[in-house]
Amino acid sequence: MTQIRINDVAYGGVQYARISPDQCQKIHNASLEILARTGARLYDQEAIDLLKKAGASVSEGNRVRIPAGLVEKAFSTVPKRVTLYDQNGEAAMFLEEGRCYYGTGSDCLHIVDHRTGERRDPVLQDVVEGMRVCDALQNIDFVMSMFLPTDVHEMVSDRYQMEAMLHNTTKPIVYVTNEFSGCVDAVEMAEVVAGGAEELKLRPFAACYINVTTGLQHNEEALQKLLFLAEKGLPALYIPVSIAGISGPITPAGSVALVNAGVLVGLVLSQLKREGAPFITSAMSGGSLDMKTMVSPYSEPDQRGVPHALAHHYNLPMFGLGGCSDSKLVDQQAAAEAALTMMAETLGGANLIHDLGYLESGLCGSLAQLVTCNEIAGWIEYNLAPVDVTDEALALDLIDREGPDGQFLDSDHTMTNFRKRWYPEVFDRGNYDQWQAEGGLSLGERAAARVEKILAEHQPQPLPEDVAKKIKAIVERAEKSFK
């Protein structure tokens, strides 16, 4: 029988936008006006010279005003898609429209120890254990170092973090460095693992997260890292920092416009240095100041979705923030805020969603909280997946065969399809007696037990011995240079 359908619309997944295309264009135009009228201070001479040669105006030594034409030209050469690989050279993450990936954050100043519940200063072993847990968790797609170790030299802590990540997971890495030389060393380590500079460029498994002072102040080390990575043809995440109400307007639109102006400075520079250099924009408009506590919260809802829509407007890969909480404990608030922020970031379409496992407004991390976030990621994946409405899924023949008096428990259809549904690993679905029989544990306790089980049983793929020695030599060289 012929079945003709007219104007049928199929959705591959959930469609969501916080603001309209017209609103995106208005914010974009505002950012262009900020760059052309107000300008930004750049604290690196090479960056200033590149912009001046391209047609920007320079006053007061380092205040650079960038015409809109330079921005539009940069959009014509920047890649609209970035692929990150694993350390085995397999494509792992396609940073493009409609794809979201989850990962940890970096450099927490404290850790909530899953064994004791104690809040303490982290050490290098915490980074190692964090990476082993990340390597085992199915829904953690990329890693960042999680903790800032206090038992190594503070100026080379970034090298130790990179070494720990390379040793304890094969997943893609987003790394942060203390200063420019740390970025150079991190790239050298990655090149050793990849088998050379050209091999890393062809199959990059590491991207640098560059912290920029504000949208209007671009510190020397951030600019040096950006230009170095662009010349290498390696991915850079250029992330201006802003606290709405302090270093930017308190309103979401004004805050996003200002931060976006800073992102566009990085975009233009990356393409001036090397056309086609991979660039990842920010889906973070910076934080804001809670006027009651004078703390900059990580989990606020106000601006979420606005920079995401702008990144979609540009069709650029974006870096987002979710899975975090302002709670000080692995408690109900931590789980609720992690779930809300992860769902918001996923609906917003952020490609790299980082900070899973963060507590205390970014000051503290928890491996137990990370396990909870891994569970939430699985729930979101199933919830936002396209719905199968094929004839097989509708099962009309089965329904008719069983009729009003039948049952479906032992049908072939049920046996074939029940495993396709989502089943939790640490969320509890048993009845009360079953829960008590298994110890009557809270979610936090079950998550902590899962961490211990992973650490006892999971062994990451080891680096070849010669590669491990070369990486260690880079760390030791940096250690000596700061003594």
Per-residue pLDDT at 16: 83
Rounded CA-CA distance 329/119 in Å is: 9
Per-residue pLDDT at 9: 55
CATH class of 76-383: alpha beta
Rounded CA-CA distance 253/258 in Å is: 9
**Residue 208 carries which side chain, given as an amino acid letter?**
C
Per-residue pLDDT at 346: 94
pTM recorded for the entire structure: 0.94
Per-residue pLDDT at 246: 86
Q: Write the DSSP string, 53-122.
A: HHT-EEETTTEEE--HHHHHHHHHHS-S-EEEE-TTS-EEEEESTT--EEB--S-BSEEE-TTT--EE--
Is the CB of residue 114 less than 8 Å from the CB of residue 367?
Answer: yes
Is the CB of residue 360 less than 8 Å from the CB of residue 331?
Answer: no
DSSP 3-state of 207:
strand
- What are the structure tokens assigned to 341, written together? 């922020």
Per-residue pLDDT at 13: 62
Per-residue pLDDT at 4: 52
Closest CA to 334 of 303, 304, 367: 367
Rounded CA-CA distance 11/438 in Å is: 42
Is the CB of residue 144 less than 8 Å from the CB of residue 466?
Answer: no
Strand order in the sheet with 279-282: 101-102, 352-354, 318-321, 279-282, 236-240, 206-212, 173-175
Domain map (residue ranges) of the chain? 76-383, 391-420
Bridge partner residues of 85 (DSSP):
91
Question: Residue ranges of the alpha helices (H) in 116-156?
Answer: 124-136
Rounded CA-CA distance 155/157 in Å is: 6
pLDDT in tens, the chain (483 residues): 455 555 555 556 667 889 999 999 999 999 999 999 999 999 999 999 999 999 999 999 999 999 999 999 999 999 999 999 999 999 999 999 989 999 999 999 999 999 999 999 999 999 999 999 999 999 999 999 999 999 999 999 999 999 999 999 999 999 999 999 999 999 999 999 999 999 999 999 999 999 999 999 999 999 999 999 999 999 999 999 888 888 888 899 999 999 999 999 999 999 999 999 999 999 987 677 788 888 888 888 888 899 999 999 999 999 999 999 999 999 999 999 999 999 999 999 999 999 999 999 999 999 999 999 999 999 999 999 888 999 999 999 999 999 999 999 999 999 999 999 999 999 999 999 999 999 999 999 999 999 999 999 999 999 999 999 999 999 999 999 987
Backbone angles phi, psi at 481, to 5 degrees: -70, -20
Rounded CA-CA distance 41/51 in Å is: 12
- What are the structure tokens assigned to 264, written together? 């566009």
- Ramachandran area for residue 61 (φ above 0: left; ψ -120 to 50: alpha; else beta): left
Angle at CA of residue 448, ends 445 and 453, nearest 5° = 125
**Residue 143 carries which side chain, given as an amino acid letter?**
V
